[in-house]
Homo-oligomer: A and B are copies of this chain.
Amino acid sequence: MTGHEADVLVVGAGLSGLIAARTLLGAGLTPLILEADTRVGGRILTEDLGGLPMELGAQWIGDTHHRMFALAAELGVETYPQFDDGETTYELAGTGVLRGNEFHDRFAGELAELEKVLRRLDGLATEVDPATPWTAPHAAEWDAITAGAWYDAQGLSPVARTLLEICTVGILAVPTVEVSFLHLLFTIQTCGVTSELFAESEGGAQTTRFVGGTAEIPKRLAAMLTEHLVLDAPVQLIEHGSDSVTVHCRGGRTARGRRIIVAVSPMLAGRIMYDPPLSGYRDQLTQRMPNSAAMKAFFVYDEPFWRADGLNGQLISDVGPARMSNDTCIRGDDRGVILLFLEGEQARTHGHWSEEERRAALTAELVRHFGERAAHPQLYVDGEWGSRQWTRGCYNANCGPLVWTTYGAALAEPIGPIHWASTDTATEWSAYMEGAVEAGERAAAEVIEALTK
């Protein structure tokens, strides 16, 4: 690789970087992707567990993820619907475990309150342009308070407030007091409406899965780019002129190009050295978009026994350790698979535990919800993202108070020959695979415009 030359360098072989490279190639430009890890996929990671593809990272797409549906079709990756029949189980407010119907009866008032707040959020979110959240009429006000403080001010009953927190943390993977209210509205607006986002909704962001595992997508993209991809090449330094870049990787390897697309999260982009150094404005942004904290844990059983009880495998709990779960059985296999989410505080706390302790606590939770058979899984695997050196947190980058209004304009704005991708820079479905594709295509289009027009 020393002395390797390309038209355009791409940092990161996550979905966004792969899409950018493929788009460049299609426009007649030669890309070279430098990936720090020894695999492609970034926040997409499918691991084999007893012959089953377990999605430790990104798992679903939703009905409005047009780019992803088109991509899967093009790559020949088949899709299948997420199982969604039956009742959810609830364990909230000291009631013990209740089935959905009973919960909805008992807490009809609280659920109506929640619904009202979600409609209010949907209304406010329409004022936010996801490409420029800082221009919203009330941006200054909304960016000065946390989403949690806004939630607290809605006069919700404890059960409704707890449900709202659980739903929101299921998306942000950090507690709502850590992000600005403007950031929450941005997140909602990049996805459409809250019903697209939040748990319990039919449709939404989690309707569809990939046969063979999500990793088939980056794998097949990478197969089309083998001559343009270097693994195990952590970028340490980007030297940039007006129309040239030289990249130095760990171990002394270098590569040269005319432009570069940095397709990693803003925080990771901030850890690269730039020569000349980037502005304080850009740099301070990258100091203020930390990645969130999420873990997934999978239990495999001989069959999805909860379905026979009329349950959909989804739990909502304020007891935990997991706040939510999902029936994540694999098409074509008879075994039952339950996925438990540990997000935000749950991931932080339980990420410290030994796998054994974590598994035991999660098993106990499953038994409460789905009965004794849950105590006897065949297989178990979990995955935490903060400790993964080349990701350092999932699902995405979140903004605390005043980040959007102060530094937001630096998020995707090119600096000389340096362009920015990664789902965190997307305007539709930011934080999702759909956003990764959008951002990769947008950054590639910027480069194509600069080099070929």
Chain A residues engaging chain B, CB cutoff 8 angstroms: 144-146, 148-149, 174-175, 177-178, 234, 236-237, 250, 252, 267, 270-271, 273, 277, 279-281, 283-284, 287-288, 290-291, 293, 345, 348, 351-352, 384-389, 392-393, 400-402, 406-407
Interface contact A267-B280, CB-CB below 8 Å: no
Flag if A280 contacts B250 (CB, 8 Å).
Answer: no
A221 vs chain B, min Cβ distance (A):
26
Tell which of B281, B385, B388, B402 touches A177, judged by Cβ atoms closer than 8 Å.
Answer: B402
Report which of B277, B280, B402 forms a contact with A175, defined as CB distance below 8 A: B402
- Contacts A/B (CB < 8 Å), 28 sampled: A144-B177, A146-B401, A148-B401, A174-B402, A175-B401, A175-B402, A177-B401, A178-B402, A234-B273, A236-B236, A237-B250, A252-B252, A267-B287, A279-B386, A280-B293, A280-B384, A280-B388, A280-B392, A281-B351, A283-B386, A283-B392, A284-B291, A284-B293, A284-B386, A284-B393, A287-B291, A348-B407, A400-B400
Query: Which residue from chain B places its CB closest to the CB of A347 in the assembled complex?
Result: B280
Measured CB to CB, the closest approach of chain B to A138, in angstroms, equals: 15
Instruction: Give the top 7 A-B pairs by smallest Cβ distance, nearest first.
Output: A280-B386, A287-B290, A280-B387, A277-B389, A271-B271, A400-B400, A177-B401
Given known A280-B387, A281-B351, A400-B401, contact A145–B177 (CB-CB < 8 A)? yes
Name A290's contact: one of B145, B178, B252, B284 (CB within 8 Å).
B284
Question: Which one of B145, B250, B406 lies within 8 Å of A273 (CB-CB)?
Answer: B250
Residues of B with C-beta under 8 A to A351: 280-281
Copies of this chain assembled into the complex: 2
- Tell me, rounded to whole Å, the shortest Cβ–Cβ distance linking A403 to chain B: 8
Return chain B residues, CB-CB under 8 Å to A407.
348
Q: Is the CB of A270 within 8 A of B273?
A: no
Give complex CA distance A406, B348 in Å: 8
Query: Smallest CB–CB gap between A439 and chain B, Å?
Result: 20
Complex partner residue of A400 from B178, B252, B352, CB under 8 angstroms: B178
Instruction: Return chain B residues, CB-CB under 8 Å to A252.
Output: 252
> Chain B nearest CB: distance from A70 CB in Å?
34
Q: How far is the CA of A70 from the CA of B287 in the complex (A)?
A: 35
Q: Which residues of B contact A281 (CB under 8 A)?
A: 348, 351-352, 386
A237 to B236 Cα, complex, angstroms: 9
> B178 to A401, Cβ gap below 8 A?
yes
A144 closest partner in B (C-beta): B177
Closest to A291 in B: B287
**19 new A-B contacts at CB < 8 Å, known A236-B236, A237-B250, A279-B387:** A144-B177, A145-B149, A146-B149, A174-B402, A178-B402, A234-B273, A267-B287, A280-B293, A280-B386, A280-B387, A281-B352, A283-B386, A283-B387, A283-B393, A284-B290, A284-B348, A287-B291, A345-B406, A400-B400
Determine how close the nearest CB of chain B comes to the CB of A11; give it in whole angstroms: 14
- Chain B residues whose C-beta falls within 8 Å of the C-beta of A384 in the assembled complex: 280
CA distance A345 to B177 in the complex (A): 21
Taken together as a complex, chains A and B put the C-alpha atoms of A287 and B348 apart, in Å, by 14
Task: Kindly list chain B residues whose C-beta atoms are within 8 Å of the C-beta of A402.
Answer: 174-175, 177-178
Question: Would you call B291 and A392 a contact (CB within 8 A)?
Answer: no
Give chain B nearest CB distance to A364 CB in angstroms.
24
A287–B177 touching, CB < 8 Å = no
Cα–Cα distance between A392 and B279 once the two chains are bound (Å): 9
